[in-house]
Amino acid sequence: MKKERSLAGRWMQYGAMALIVHVASGCSDKTPPPPPPADAAQVANMVAPAADARLVVAFGDSLYAGYNLDQDKGLAPVLEQALNARGVKARVVNAGVSGDTSAAGLARLAFTLDGLPRKPDLMLVGLGGNDMLRGLSPRETRANLGAILIEAQRRGIKVVLTGMLASPNMGPDYAAAFNPIYPDLAKRHDATLYPFILDGVIGQRALQLPDGIHPNDRGVTVIVRKLAPVVAGALKP
């Protein structure tokens, strides 16, 4: 119970900071446009992985994109290093776009997957946090994420769905509609669930950037330490 209260307090702090940054950055409820061509080219022109390496695409928002971090300090490169250290030869492609909502992710999904050198062995999906911060309808978030998982199933791509939790300042009704989205969809679409992408980082200022929202390089290391075993397990035949 004490641990739950502690998490709730840290998450409340996150929600307040996130709301401030969200408003200050001039975000609106409108769905962001698809990523600019440079982002697409980065994925499309990636070096093909070795024939014996597993191809993993990290498809998400700023928490995947490595917001305000050096290129080799984001989730994708650190996860790739962690998998290789565990004896899992893998190439992890960064397909994260800062600011993406679930709708924006769905809009660029096919283009992103078609731009890869081959069908990925696994896709990490981490979207919905921006939906929550903007107060978008959880029903829309559920529908968009569901469509992403359906497309992955259609293409025969395994998925690890990394979840998000509604900030307490969104209110209990919003949380009751939003929080079950990830476990429900993972079960329905046979995806592996990692319940909360910020587990171990939320509220720990030493692990966060000054905005109090995004992980710094130490925070990414903490996330990957917890996430890598889940990804390695999902990559097993």
**149-200: pLDDT as tens digits:** 999 999 999 999 999 999 999 999 999 999 999 999 999 999 999 999 999 9
Share of the chain above pLDDT 70, in %: 80
**CATH number assigned to the domain comprising residue 72:** 3.40.50.1110
Strands 192-194 and 158-162: parallel
Residue 35 has pLDDT above 70, yes or no: no
Q: Which amino acid is at 235?
A: L
Selecting among 39, 62, 102, 121, the annotated active-site residue is 62
Amino acid 51: pLDDT: 73
Q: What angle do CA 127, 131, 135 make, to 5 degrees?
A: 160
Of 184, 189, 199, 211, which one is the catalytic site residue?
211
Flag whether 211 is in a domain: yes
Question: C-alpha distances in angstroms, 184 versus 37, 161, 174, 225?
Answer: 34, 11, 16, 25
Rg (CA), the chain: 17
In a domain, residue 31? The reply is no
Position 154 in a domain: yes
The pair phi, psi for residue 110, each rounded to 5°, is: -60, -40
Q: What is the mean pLDDT of residues 112-123?
A: 97
In a domain, 32, yes or no: no
* Inside any domain, residue 208: yes
d(CA 25, CA 174): 23
Q: What is the mean pLDDT of the chain?
A: 86
Active site residue 29: no
Is 206 a domain residue? yes
> Which residues span the domain enclosing 113?
2-26+37-234
Count structural domains, the chain: 1
Distance CA 177, CA 20 (A): 23
Q: What is the pLDDT of residues 41-88, one digit of tens each?
A: 355 445 667 778 999 999 999 999 999 999 999 999 999 999 999 999
- What is the dihedral sign for C-alpha 152, 57, 124, 164? negative
Query: Which residues neighbour 48 within 8 Å (Cβ) at sequence distance 6 or greater?
Result: 117, 118
Look up 22 and say whether it is catalytic.
no
Average pLDDT on 219-235 reads 98
| Active-site residue, 211 included | yes
Q: Catalytic pick from 100, 102, 121, 214?
A: 214
